[in-house]
Amino acid sequence: MAPKKKTKNDDETQMAFTDHYFEKGHWLLKIWQTIVALLGWLGVFIPLVVTGLSYFGVKYHFFKPLWIYREGIFEVQFISVILLFSFVMVLVFSVSMALIQNRKRDRLVEQWPTFNPINQKKRSTELNQFMDQRFGPAEKRQNVRNYQVEPEQNIETHEIKQLFDQHHIDEL
């Protein structure tokens, strides 16, 4: 069976979104979006640099500050304390949750199996036999490029559960 050729319409229906910036061409769009992104980053970095230079200029007299407002210096110090406190709280929370989860995993998950390994092996064997009977040998199914399932071969909603019930290997 020859592989189906893709058409442009097939590509559009399978994609959830498109971004012309990363496609070939669209140079004006790429230039415009790059300029807007760079201006946006300048809008972030310029105030940070001005504030940092002014704060260290007033505090340590390394260079001439760009502004010398007492309220501004106090706010920078206050925000620094708040950010440091927030960082410490997030660090304590993250480390404690990681320790708690690791301890739980060591005590619970790794000590007791979450399934019956004997029944799991039986279930796997029965399922492989069922699939071989329904769809043909596994080697043939896995080595073919395109495998078509006929409508009568479709698996019903509870068919696998019923198979396990017939052989008394249902876990639940």
Give domain status of residue 63, yes or no: yes
Clarify whether residues 90 and 120 are in a common domain.
no
DSSP letters of 147-166? -PPPGGGPPPTTHHHHHHHH
Instruction: State how many domains the chain has.
Output: 2
Clarify whether residues 89 and 121 are in a common domain.
no
Mean pLDDT of 52-63: 89
Give domain status of residue 19, yes or no: no
Question: Measured between alpha carbons, how far is 42 from 48 in angstroms, rounded to an integer?
Answer: 10
Clarify whether residues 83 and 136 are in a common domain.
no
Give domain status of residue 68, yes or no: yes
Domain of residue 127: give its range: 115-143+154-172
Residue 171 pLDDT: 64
Give domain status of residue 149, yes or no: no
Decide if pLDDT at 15 tops 70.
no
Clarify whether residues 51 and 74 are in a common domain.
yes
3-state helix, strand, coil in the chain (%, to 5): 70, 0, 30
Amino acid at 31: I
HEC per residue, 82-142:
HHHHHHHHHHHHHHHHHHHHHHHHHHHHCCCCCCCHHHHHHHHHHHHHHHHHHHCCHHHHH
Clarify whether residues 33 and 104 are in a common domain.
yes
- Identify whether the C-beta of residue 52 lies closer than 8 Å to the C-beta of residue 77: no
Give domain status of residue 10, yes or no: no
Give domain status of residue 165, yes or no: yes
Please state the separation of Cα 54 from the chain's center in Å.
40
**pTM of the predicted structure, to 2 decimals:** 0.44
Clarify whether residues 139 and 119 are in a common domain.
yes
Clarify whether residues 98 and 47 are in a common domain.
yes
Clarify whether residues 32 and 84 are in a common domain.
yes
Give domain status of residue 37, yes or no: yes
Give domain status of residue 4, yes or no: no
What are the tens digits of pLDDT across the range 60-109? 888 888 888 889 889 999 999 999 999 999 999 999 999 999 998 887 76
Residue 26 pLDDT: 92
114 vs 140, which has greater pLDDT? 140
* Dihedral pair phi/psi, residue 60, rounded to 5°: -120, 0
- Please measure the distance between the N-terminal and C-terminal CA atoms of the chain and give it in whole angstroms: 43
